Structure formats: structure tokens, C-alpha cells
Amino acid sequence: MPGAYEKLLLYDLTTKKWQDLIKLPSSYPNWSKDSKGVYFCNTTERNLPFYRVRVSDRKVEHLVDLADYGRLAIGRFGWWTGLAPDDSLLAIRDISLEEIYALDWDAP
């Protein structure tokens, strides 16, 4: 799936070195508001699991499977996810219908 990467990296400004945060496919990573964790979705799995990983100990916590909530809208880089200012999950759900209407209108 486009947009998924095989791992997340952190750059240490002090040592000027990259560190592996996790080795797990991840899309659209988002820092938590307290900067103690990173939220991400694994779009390579059918159930679209959404996770949080703690920076301090690299513990990964499965939060929810997005596929349980119906069809998600897919974009150029996969299923988009993000965080609201309170760290609640944001995702785009596709519940649209394609309907065609005819309008017979006599313009003034």
C-alpha cells in the first residue's frame, strides 16, 4: 500500500544519530500533544490497525482497528489518519453515494 513505511526513525539532536523507534509498517505518524508518543496506522494489514508507541520504552499499544468502522476514504497515499488537538483519532470515512439528479429550471 502506498504511504506505508517499514519502520519509524527518531533523530537525536544531541548525538546527531538516527534511532529505530519501531520496525513495523506505519503510515501518517503523528506526535502526541505531550510528545511522549507517536500514533500511526498500519495500512498494510486488512483490518487497518491504529497504534500508539511510547518514545521512552518503545512499547507499542494497539488502539483500534479502523476497518471495523466501515469503508475509509482512500487517497493517493493510502488511508489518512491524524490527531485532533486532544489526541483523539481523526480518519476520513467514505459513506458517500453517487446519485444523479435532473433539474428542470426556467431561469428568469
Mean pLDDT over 89-103 rounds to: 71
Number of domains in the chain: 1
- 20 in any annotated domain: yes
- 22 in any annotated domain: yes
The answer to whether 37 and 23 have CB atoms below 8 angstroms apart is no
The DSSP symbol for 70 reads S
pLDDT at 104: 66
- 16 in any annotated domain: yes
- 102 in any annotated domain: no
Average pLDDT value over all residues in the chain: 84
- 103 in any annotated domain: no
Domain residue limits at 29: 8-91
Full-prediction pTM beyond 0.75? yes
In whole angstroms, give the CA distance from residue 69 to residue 81.
Answer: 13
Share of the chain above pLDDT 90, in %: 46
Nearest Cα residue to 66 out of 80, 77, 55: 80
- 99 in any annotated domain: no
Tens of pLDDT along 27-45? 889 999 999 999 998 888 8
Tens of pLDDT along 46-58? 898 999 999 999 9
